[in-house]
Amino acid sequence: MDEAQKIVVKAVVHSVEQANPTLRTLLELHLKGTTGQGFELAYTDPTKFKEAISKLFGEYSARLLEMLIISYFRENLGMKGEFNSLEELVKHLKEVYG
């Protein structure tokens, strides 16, 4: 797992726990069961990650989690820029980290 992927996974875990700490295990099991990946899916395929979240919790909750993840980067890592989606954020990270 490269550095950018580690940061995204940390942001996802933090955001899930911020939304509802009891859902972390449920969400990780759902992701592994339906996609074969855990939270790293947010980095490797953010669209598929959001689709899996939507199937479990609904579209609104998936968008809320996405916004919490983006906020994590702004607040904790001082990331500048207007990112309106997880896909845009991950694309930027891949450009920065190579």
Report the pLDDT value the prediction gives residue 58, as an integer from 0 to 100.
94
Looking at the structure of the chain, the number of domains it has is: 1
Range(s) of the domain holding residue 7: 3-97
The one-digit pLDDT tens for each residue of the chain (98 residues) are 789 899 999 999 999 999 888 889 999 999 999 999 999 999 999 999 999 999 999 999 999 999 999 999 988 887 777 889 999 999 999 988 87
Q: CATH no. for residue 60?
A: 1.10.1200.200
Report the pLDDT value the prediction gives residue 82, as an integer from 0 to 100.
84
Cα distances (angstroms) measured from residue 40 to each of 6, 12, 25, 43, 45: 8, 9, 14, 5, 8
Report the pLDDT value the prediction gives residue 80, as an integer from 0 to 100.
77
